[in-house]
Amino acid sequence: MKAVEAENLTILYSGQPALSDVTFTLEEGKTLLLLGPNGAGKTTLLKTIACFHREYTGELRVFERPPCEARELIGYVPQSQSLNERVPLTALEVVAMGGVYRKGFVHFRIPGEVIEKAEKVLEFVGLGGIGDRLFRELSGGQKQRVLLARALMSDPRLLLLDEPLSALDPSARAEVANVLDKIKREKGVTMIITTHDINPLLEIGDLVMLINRRLIAFGRPEEVLTDEVIKSVYGPMAKVIPVGGKVYCITGDFHIHRGGEKI
């Protein structure tokens, strides 16, 4: 089954194209890493697949139907979290929200079976013991895993993750990347993950798409992640360094710190 199929897809805001003429196919069960500089159209593409944005031309099909007919199958974790942290919700309540909002109701009391499922999903993301802790008091990596758990509550077949690693330190990035790997292996969920730092995700990416207001490259990581392609988007300072059969990417958005100096 094809999870996402786009043909000559052009996405517009008030008639102005933000992302033009994109054609690709993502098979179910695969993980796609979506790369591109600021303003490239990454969030725009995710929102359109999720049916949050509907102004486009060309063909877009999600599980072989129009995006808005596939909403039940999609989990979406937005880029900057809109969760109001002044409301003192526990981690378990945040996760459980993913199981009640979907039905279109605001519940004043969360049903017991939703709580039970939320506990299991928290366990799955490696946070079994923290259900009672306040969400706002968790570490960045823990928060991101709680938000992943919330998205998993509806058993999505396609997960759209907008920069799940941004604003995390390297060890938290690895933590979240491990959970994404587990979701892929154990649940077989198709994922599209946007990221500025591709390196922690290279192990789980079956495909890489590079965009910059249009499609620059799409294919297996070793096809897309070449010095030439990366430099064409991120400029001459960007490079791909081969390390023991794998690659390490340095783009303009990502810096290695050495002795406090950016290089």
Ligand X SMILES: Nc1ncnc2c1ncn2[C@@H]1O[C@H](COP(=O)(O)OP(=O)(O)OP(=O)(O)O)[C@@H](O)[C@H]1O
Sites of contact with ligand X (CB under 6 A)? 13, 18, 36, 38-44, 79
Q: Are 190 and 183 in contact (CB under 8 A)?
A: no
Dihedral sign, CA of 116, 83, 38, 24? Answer: positive
Output the CA–CA distances (angstroms, integers) from residue 109 to 14, 96, 174, 217, in the order listed.
41, 11, 35, 48
Alpha-carbon span 256 to 263, nearest angstrom: 6
**Residue closer to ligand X (CB basis): 12 or 110:** 12
Which of Mg ion, ligand X, none sits in contact with 41, Cβ below 5 to 8 A by type?
ligand X
The interface partner of residue 158, options being ligand X, Mg ion, none and the CB cut-off 5 to 8 Å by kind, is none
Contact residues for Mg ion, defined by CB under 5 A: 42-43, 79
Residue whose C-alpha is closest to residue 240's, from 212, 262, 221, 263: 221
Reading the block at residue 11, the tokens are: 């996405």
Q: In the bound complex, what is the minimum distance in angstroms from residue 261's beta carbon to ligand X?
A: 25
Using a 10 angstrom Cβ sphere, with 0-12 exposed, 13-18 middle and 19 or more buried, the burial of residue 52 is: middle
> Residue 215: which of 200, 195, 233, 227 has the closest Cα?
233
Q: How far is the CB of 135 from Mg ion (least distance, A)?
A: 23
25 binds, among Mg ion, ligand X, none (CB under 5 to 8 A by kind): none
The partner in contact with residue 49, picked from Mg ion, ligand X, none with C-beta cut-offs of 5 to 8 angstroms by kind, is: none
Q: Which does 40 bind (CB under 5 to 8 A by kind): ligand X, Mg ion, none?
A: ligand X
Which lies closer to Mg ion via its Cβ, residue 160 or residue 176? 160
Nearest distance from residue 151's CB to ligand X, in Å?
18
Packing angle, helices 140-152 and 170-182, rounded to 10: 20
Which single residue brings its beta carbon nearest to Mg ion?
43
- Residue 113 and residue 96 in contact, taking contact as beta carbons nearer than 8 Å: no
Of 43 and 190, which has the nearer Cβ to Mg ion?
A: 43
DSSP alpha helix (H) spans, the chain: 42-49, 91-100, 112-124, 140-152, 170-182, 221-224, 227-234
CB of 92 to ligand X, least distance (A): 30
Looking at beta carbons only, is 96 or 159 nearer to ligand X? 159
Whole-number Å distance between alpha carbons of 76 and 125: 16
For residues 146, 123, 181, 165, the Cα torsion angle rounded to the nearest 10 degrees is 20
How far apart are CB 245 and Mg ion at their closest, in Å?
31
Least spacing, CB of residue 212 vs ligand X, in Å: 9
Q: Output 42 or 61, the one with its CB closest to Mg ion.
A: 42
Between 12 and 89, CB nearer to ligand X: 12
Of ligand X, Mg ion, none, which one does residue 212 interact with (CB within 5 to 8 Å by kind)? none
**Would you say 79 or 154 has its CB closer to Mg ion?**
79
Q: Considering CB distances under 5 to 8 angstroms, the limit depending on partner class, which of ligand X, Mg ion, none binds residue 144? A: none
CB of 79 to Mg ion, least distance (A): 5
List the one residue out of 170, 123, 15, 59 whose CA is nearest residue 115: 123
